[in-house]
Amino acid sequence: MIRTLIHLFLFLLGLQSANAQNLTGKIIDSKTGESLPYANIIVNETVNLVSNAEGNFTLTENNNSDTTVLTVSYLGYVKRQLTVGELKNLQYIIRLEPGVFELENLTISNVKPDPYAIMAEVKKNLPVHYKNDGQSSKNMLFYRDGTSFKPKKIDVEITKSTGFTENALKSTNAEMNAFTAKLISHPPKELKDMLCNYYTLSKKKDDKPTFLNKLEVIKATVLKNGDNSVSLDDIEETGTNIVLKHLDTTKFYRIKSGWFGSRDTISLSKNYNEKKNKKDVKNKNTKLTSSKANLTGFIAENNPLSSKLDFLNKPELYEYSYESKIYNDENDGMYVLKFEPRKSKAKYSGKLYISETDYAVVRCDYNLADGKDLGGFNMKLLLGVKVSENISKGTILYKKSPEGTGYYLQYASEETGQYFYINRPLKFIELTNSEKDVVAFDFKVEGNLGEKTEFLNISKSEISENAFENIKEEDFNYLVLKRYDPAIWKDFVSIEPLEEMKQFRVTE
């Protein structure tokens, strides 16, 4: 306990104890002292790291010897190379100098480049730079996903329950009120970290290209407050258990909400549902399959060819303006363009960093433009339902493939959110020719769902088809934590968490 307190004290001072297992550094602007988020750090020319939104990064115990070489770069700044020993002498702070680049090979002109001509070249080269080249690869990835439910109001009342006395109904409603009060006072939150190897293989089958992937989980943790804050799955389970007191699991029901009824037959019987879903047993949704699907989907939607990133592949929807030209550490020019919606279909505003030499996009910063959302449903007055996807923002970094052809997703930080309002009556009506059992609810809930995701490709290499075939996939379990513990990742590469994650605690 005392050692933990001492370690925390030294960390707050920006120092690191001599026997610490991990080493944390920070990257800042040497002139302003401001943090530099999403800076590239290459460790011994093999491991790729990115500083987090606060400019911090972590080195594992295996990579923090005094002789370890760090190469730090950031667009518009001079690249810096130093050893971990030098980093310690600098109090773990790396100061990057704004770029002063050699000008003898640069053409000076008062004429600003045409942003629309630049975007035309970007669109033309997207298939060249970002289309799957068919190469098999092994990618070591770190994936962080956090979900939250922030309710503003939850009112659930059972107004009728056939066969239950008034006192029994009051007792159940009191239990339901205690449950919903707990959700509001301790909003559900869950934070997952996963380090894995993600293998891909492209080959032809029956003269058609086929994409295959495999996932090998090295380590996975989940921060989950099991006592006072619960996951969305826990909410469903607890709410269901309360409702089950009023429904007979041996009977069949239909659901009616206001004017609308369901034609589907509902049963709370485990045997019935197992029989109904028997065909899906072979495709059981294990942690491995769901994690692989999440990773594959995330990589796909952050590809510049995806429909989500229409500010790259549908430039006709946006207005672009030339902001400046900066240079990377190799003296390569980078166009900086701002964009905002031009047509109603366009949703985002932000900034692009585009290579002058091959028109590849190396960085995107995007956010929903003022007054924009990603859609929803608003029938609040008529049906008592409103849903709006009102948060979508992020930063994406692309890196040139080690094979020298094309670019791949190196890092992505994404935040999404959704507002919802539901105010509906709900009835479970027994299917029978005799007297029917009926359970009726008044259901009102308002709040926000949120998700934050970070992705880092630590290393990428080619593999053979035989190597891919020899990979054996196995399901895994998350290590459940009640607070963030950096020692958990002492032997593994990870993304330095934000202060929000470090402060996550179980409230006893």
From 107-111, 185-189, 304-308, 365-369, the region with the lowest mean pLDDT: 107-111
277 and 156 in a common domain: yes
Beta-carbon contacts of residue 343 (< 8 Å; ≥ 6 apart): 316, 317, 318
Token couple for 490? 């002492």
170 and 255 in a common domain: yes
Any idea which residue has 């429909």 for tokens?
A: 307
User: CA–CA separation, 46 vs 197, rounded Å?
Assistant: 16
The closest alpha carbon to 141, from 198, 60, 179, belongs to 198
In a domain, 248, yes or no: yes
User: Domain of 58: which CATH number?
Assistant: 2.60.40.1120
- Residue 502 contacts residue 488 (beta carbons within 8 Å): no
174 and 257 in a common domain: yes
Q: Which three-class secondary structure string do you get for 445-489?
A: EEEEEEEEEEEEEEEEEECCHHHHHCCCCCCCCCEEECECCHHHH
153 and 96 in a common domain: no
User: CA–CA separation, 427 vs 159, rounded Å?
Assistant: 10
More confident residue, 382 or 2: 382
Domain boundary among 37, 65, 100: 100
Q: What is the DSSP string of 136-162?
A: -EEEEEEEEEEEEEEEEEEEEEEEEET
**What is the average pLDDT across 97-118?**
70
Cα angle: 156, vertex 160, 166; to 5 degrees: 100
179 and 79 in a common domain: no
Token couple for 267? 């049963």
95 and 160 in a common domain: no
89 and 190 in a common domain: no
In a domain, 374, yes or no: no
In a domain, 358, yes or no: no
In a domain, 364, yes or no: no
**Strand, helix or coil at 50?**
strand
Give residue 64's pLDDT. Answer: 77
Domain boundary among 66, 100, 134: 100
Phi, psi of 349 (to 5 degrees): -130, 160
* pLDDT tens digits, 245-262: 666 666 776 666 654 545
| pTM flag (> 0.75) | yes
More confident residue, 142 or 386: 142
CB atoms within 10 A of CB 486: 17
In a domain, 344, yes or no: no
207 and 80 in a common domain: no
Strands (E), 318-406: 318-327, 333-341, 348-355, 361-368, 376-379, 385-400
**What is the average pLDDT across 137-154?**
88
In a domain, 275, yes or no: yes
Token couple for 193? 């970290």
Any idea which residue has 């594992």 for tokens?
A: 60
187 and 277 in a common domain: yes
Token couple for 12? 């707050």
Residue 228 banded pLDDT, cuts 50, 70, 90: very low
Alpha carbon distances (Å) from 266 to 237, 250, 256, 431: 17, 11, 11, 9
22: pLDDT strictly greater than 80: no
Residue 133 banded pLDDT, cuts 50, 70, 90: low
181: pLDDT strictly greater than 60: yes
Q: Which long-range contacts (CB under 8 A, 24 or more apart) does 327-331 make?
A: 327/76, 327/99, 327/101, 328/73, 328/75, 329/73, 329/77, 329/78, 329/79, 331/101, 331/102, 331/105
Q: What is the DSSP letter of 113?
A: P
Token couple for 207? 């003269």
Residue 16 banded pLDDT, cuts 50, 70, 90: very low
Give the range of the structural domain holding residue 39, as residue numbers without chain letter.
2-100
**What is the average pLDDT across 133-147?**
86
428 and 280 in a common domain: yes
CB atoms within 10 A of CB 179: 17
Give residue 433's pLDDT. Answer: 66
In a domain, 320, yes or no: no
User: CA–CA separation, 252 vs 297, rounded Å?
Assistant: 37
275 and 154 in a common domain: yes
243 and 154 in a common domain: yes
Question: How many Cα atoms occupy the beta-carbon half-sphere of 94 within 13 Å?
Answer: 31
In a domain, 369, yes or no: no
Number of domains in the chain: 2
Percentage of the chain surpassing pLDDT 70?
77
User: CA–CA separation, 362 vs 123, rounded Å?
Assistant: 14
